Structure 1
Amino acid sequence: MSVGAEPPSPVRADAARRYRASKTRSRVADQRPVIALTALALLVVVAVALYPQDAPFTALMIPLLLGSLVLNPRQLPWFVVSVLGMVTVALLLQPVITPRTAGAAAVQFVMCVIVLVTAFRRSRLGVAGFTGESMFVDLRDRLLRQGRIPDLPPDWHLESALVSASGTRFAGDFVVATYLEDDARLELVVVDVSGKGDQAGTRALQLSGAFGGMLGSVAPQMFLASANDYLLRQDWAEGFATAIHLALWVDTGEFEVRSAGHPPAVLRAAGSGRWTVLESSGAVLGLLPYAEYTTARGQLRPGDALMLYTDGMVEEPQRDLDLGLDRMLGQAEGLLRAGVVGSAERLVEALGSRDDDRAMVVVHRK
């Protein structure tokens, strides 16, 4: 009995056919935009040839700009080259080449070069304009969701606020928090990445994702050390950040605060109305290996409030840091007396430098 390959079963054969059909449809769908845009560009050239007095050859910019938005990085350079050729043909089809016509052609050549350079830069991402933007926005939103304030037991109130120096949602300051119900423990970290606004935004996005994974996964006393090791491994040119980490046990109100080169947390005692600066020390993240971080401990009693913030809240041009802290505490005193809800948002809007990112977290025990 001869041994041969087992013939494919009908199920496998059908699956293979469906797979090949799916790949074919995908390739066709991928080619449709470039075919449509090329046809549109050729239609413009034909219109210029037939009606040179009425059809503007600058209309070739329409398919060019559309191509920059929808074509993938592999297709776009070849499409731009073809548009350059069509611009040349359309220019030669003009009855008279005036300085105005030549100037319009030069502008189109420059536009083609700009789109071509953009295509090569975009090739690092590997996706087209709309797709790349939507992917990046989705990534940003997923990471920012890690900074959402978790729900706490009814006798606790927690809120945060963040304002970017650039006015966008990309900032060098960020907050990441998690609540571990089994341990009745809140953990959060306030981070200020080197730089500000959009310049620091990409590093902040990466760090917020990494720190979000660490919170609750490593012991509170090891969080800043682990975060420091992570930054050192990145080997960034400006890869340092300040941070302050809070671990709060909501059943007892006891807390631990550790700082990495960050402005200190402040505690307001409801009974006396007195503010206490919780000093803790440690090296800035990403500068020194094997850094150690001291701990400030305390307890939040009913009515007490704890505030964590970034340096943008207390630093202003030509203003001493201590004066900035005194001003913030004075403003916070009035806001907390009037009501805790919304106090973080009002503080970041009222205080600090408009040229720096600003973040504030308020923890209150009712």
Structure 2
Amino acid sequence: MHTDDDAVARRVLGPGPLTPVRQLFLDTDWSATAIGPPASWPASLQAAVSTAMNTGFGMLVMAGPELVMVYNDAYAPLMGELHPAMGRPLPEVWADEWPLLAPMVAAVQDEQVANYFVDFPLLSSRNGFPEQTWFTYSYSPLLDPDLGVVGVLDTVTETTDRVLAARRLGLAQALGQVSTTRHPDLDRAAAAVVEVLAAHRDDLPFAALHLLGDVADPGGPLRSVAVHGVDSADPGPAAQGWLRASLGGAPVEVHPLAGTGWAGVHASDGAGGGAVQGAVVLPLTPPGRGSPIGALALGLSPHLRHDDAYRTFWELVASQVAGILGDTLAHLAEQAAAAASRSMAEVLQRSLLTEPAAPDHLEVVVRYRPAVTEVEVGGDWYDAFRCPDGSTWLVVGDVAGHDQAAAATMGQVRNLLRGIAWSTQTSPAQALATLDTAIAGLGVGTLTSVVAARIEQDPELAGSGVRRLRWSNAGHPPPVLLHADGGAQPLTAPVDLILGADPGAGRRDHEVELRPGDGVLLYTDGLVERRDGDLDAGQDWLVAELAGRGDAPVARLCDDLLSRVEAHAEDDIALLALRAHPEDRPVPVTPR
């Protein structure tokens, strides 16, 4: 460069330090370029170049009709291996990208109006392969005083890292959603994972998830559980070797796919298409386990750099997948333990729920349904027995808790009440008061709700076929009277304090006549309890269900009620229904 040209070039460059790109600007023989030495440049072009060279933003000046490149330090990294290209025509340097960029540059030159693009996708060959990149930029016309275009200014920032991070965050969030779901087995958990991966082929063109046949045997055979993007579940001997090596702690590396069952996969059209050349295989070790339970093969996009961010992404995906599978294993173990515990507790509970007494012309039907959403049984019970004085007792109660201790306590409370009623032949209120005192004295120490009812018939009532239902309620849902004419009426007499709260609390008896054909339904709160409603609403529902059906066979009523709540009941349910049949005719034969 001549001395005069050098002086002008330094003036255009400005006083800043000589960075590599600024030095390149000075070393370039501009007189050999299409735009000539800086001294010949229009003032507007000199000013634009000076601005570009003295800003921290990426700037490229495309000078003259040939679009000769003059760029700054912040722009150089965007070029990758295309740098250095100072003083060369842009269509020559960005040859592969030029067909896409040319119309945008021409529009700015012709219309003399700037454009602006956010996260513009560009399949760039800047690093020797077609790479997915994104840029936010603006092309602005550079005008001379006569409004002639002397060049185009490109102000640009690369957003590739941000776009990829957002895209990969979307996959992480989708896998996070999978982790919130309970899966019935490992295969369906794996299928759910791979279904999510299939929706993110721009980053991972294929996935193949293999699990040990027995997750407790690290040396056992691997089986293909779920794949996407590949035609065959069998990857071939070489890939099988990579899978097995990953279980033994082999370093994660990119494997070439030629000759494997994973060859021939193509990247998504949105990512630029093209054959997938490599894959990684990562071990799947759930948290808390000492060894992998399987391996995950992930195809790599041919349009992304295998940089630290991509590697961290692979590892994060494998970690999330391992966590989902680990959660599923833990859930299955919990289910197995709960099933064993529940089976033992149910045997205990059912052993205490004996067949009810069936006095002449009094039909008693009982039902017990364990909770479907609780992992343990509850303390619900029913009882029906006769006392020496000829009375028939009906009891339904609920001990607080859902475990084997609640079931055992239920057995104690049930048998205590039986013994009190049998030996004292007293009223329900007095029997419950005595039971409350016994619970406190014996240290049972558990809250228990109960309805105790006594069916009586003195000589005067016997002449008319009427019976008396005398009951007392300790914090329990009210019984429902079933009229012979089909009506249903809740027995909403005052409810006394639950047992176990205050042994000295007063207790009251209530009475109602049972005419021939009448009946009564006792139940625990699992029948009327709803997660999204209160007990009053549930009891209103029960009365509505029974309305017009009070004369139906009590066994059918019980079965129909249980079927109505089968889908949403969350607690144990005990039912006891009685029908007082007329004594002047045979008792009808109905299923129990």
Identity %: 25
SS in 1 for 2:491: strand
Alignment match, 1:235: 443
Check whether the contact 2:517–2:551 (CA below 8 A) recurs between aligned residues. no
Check whether the contact 1:257–1:295 (CA below 8 A) recurs between aligned residues. yes
Alignment match, 1:306: 520
Whole-Å separation in 2 of the counterparts to 1:162 and 1:281? 24
Whole-Å separation in 2 of the counterparts to 1:272 and 1:262? 24
Question: Is 1:273 aligned with 2:487?
Answer: yes
Whole-Å separation in 1 of the counterparts to 2:519 and 2:346? 35
Report 1 or 2 for greater relative contact order, CA contacts < 8 Å, sequence distance ≥ 6.
1
Alignment match, 1:259: 473
Alignment match, 1:186: 392
Question: Is 1:282 aligned with 2:526?
Answer: no
Whole-Å separation in 2 of the counterparts to 1:185 and 1:161? 22
Please identify which structure carries the higher strand content: 2
Question: Is 1:143 aligned with 2:352?
Answer: yes
Alignment match, 1:317: 531
- Residues 235 and 201 (structure 1 numbering): CA distance in 2 closer, same or farther, change over 3 Å? same
Whole-Å separation in 2 of the counterparts to 1:138 and 1:198? 10
Question: Is 1:163 aligned with 2:369?
Answer: yes
- Residues 346 and 215 (structure 1 numbering): CA distance in 2 closer, same or farther, change over 3 Å? farther
The CA deviation at 1:350 is: 2.0
2:434 paired residue among 202, 226, 232: 226
Question: Is 1:246 aligned with 2:460?
Answer: no
Check whether the contact 2:480–2:521 (CA below 8 A) recurs between aligned residues. yes
The CA deviation at 1:208 is: 2.3
The CA deviation at 1:211 is: 2.5
Match of 2:353, as an amino acid? L
- Residues 139 and 196 (structure 1 numbering): CA distance in 2 closer, same or farther, change over 3 Å? closer
The CA deviation at 1:337 is: 4.6
Alignment match, 1:328: 542
- Residues 328 and 351 (structure 1 numbering): CA distance in 2 closer, same or farther, change over 3 Å? farther
2:578 paired residue among 357, 363, 366: 363
2:408 paired residue among 184, 202, 219: 202
Whole-Å separation in 2 of the counterparts to 1:170 and 1:211? 21
Match of 2:496, as an amino acid? G
Whole-Å separation in 1 of the counterparts to 2:509 and 2:455? 13
SS in 2 for 1:177: strand
Whole-Å separation in 1 of the counterparts to 2:404 and 2:544? 31
Alignment RMSD (CA, Å): 3.5
Alignment match, 1:40: none
SS in 2 for 1:215: helix
The CA deviation at 1:338 is: 4.3
Whole-Å separation in 2 of the counterparts to 1:297 and 1:179? 19
Whole-Å separation in 1 of the counterparts to 2:531 and 2:350? 33
Match of 1:163, as an amino acid? R
In structure 1, runs of 5+ residues without a counterpart are 1-98, 101-106, 108-134
Match of 2:410, as an amino acid? A
The CA deviation at 1:169 is: 9.7
SS in 1 for 2:389: coil
- Residues 335 and 206 (structure 1 numbering): CA distance in 2 closer, same or farther, change over 3 Å? same
In structure 2, runs of 5+ residues without a counterpart are 1-247, 250-288, 290-343, 582-592
- Residues 206 and 217 (structure 1 numbering): CA distance in 2 closer, same or farther, change over 3 Å? same
- Residues 349 and 203 (structure 1 numbering): CA distance in 2 closer, same or farther, change over 3 Å? farther
Whole-Å separation in 2 of the counterparts to 1:236 and 1:299? 35
TM-score by length of 2: 0.36
- Residues 325 and 157 (structure 1 numbering): CA distance in 2 closer, same or farther, change over 3 Å? same
Check whether the contact 1:170–1:201 (CA below 8 A) recurs between aligned residues. yes
Give the number of the structure whose alpha-carbon radius of gyration is greater.
Answer: 2
1:54-79, CA deviations, whole angstroms, 9 ceiling, x for partnerless residues?
xxxxxxxxxxxxxxxxxxxxxxxxxx
Whole-Å separation in 2 of the counterparts to 1:169 and 1:212? 26
Match of 1:152, as an amino acid? P
- Residues 197 and 332 (structure 1 numbering): CA distance in 2 closer, same or farther, change over 3 Å? farther
Match of 1:208, as an amino acid? R
Whole-Å separation in 1 of the counterparts to 2:365 and 2:376? 18
1:243-285, CA deviations, whole angstroms, 9 ceiling, x for partnerless residues?
1110111554111110111111121333472524241321110
- Residues 340 and 275 (structure 1 numbering): CA distance in 2 closer, same or farther, change over 3 Å? same
Alignment match, 1:115: none
Match of 2:392, as an amino acid? L
Match of 1:213, as an amino acid? G
Check whether the contact 2:527–2:569 (CA below 8 A) recurs between aligned residues. no
- Residues 211 and 338 (structure 1 numbering): CA distance in 2 closer, same or farther, change over 3 Å? closer
Whole-Å separation in 2 of the counterparts to 1:310 and 1:161? 11
Whole-Å separation in 1 of the counterparts to 2:403 and 2:546? 25
1:134-184, CA deviations, whole angstroms, 9 ceiling, x for partnerless residues?
x99987665333xx210111x22111111121589943100122113x533
Please identify which structure carries the higher helix content: 1
1:70-108, CA deviations, whole angstroms, 9 ceiling, x for partnerless residues?
xxxxxxxxxxxxxxxxxxxxxxxxxxxxx99xxxxxx9x
Whole-Å separation in 1 of the counterparts to 2:379 and 2:456? 28
The CA deviation at 1:305 is: 1.8
Match of 1:222, as an amino acid? Q
SS in 2 for 1:342: helix
- Residues 362 and 296 (structure 1 numbering): CA distance in 2 closer, same or farther, change over 3 Å? same
Whole-Å separation in 1 of the counterparts to 2:346 and 2:520? 33
Whole-Å separation in 2 of the counterparts to 1:247 and 1:139? 27
Check whether the contact 1:231–1:240 (CA below 8 A) recurs between aligned residues. no
Match of 1:317, as an amino acid? R
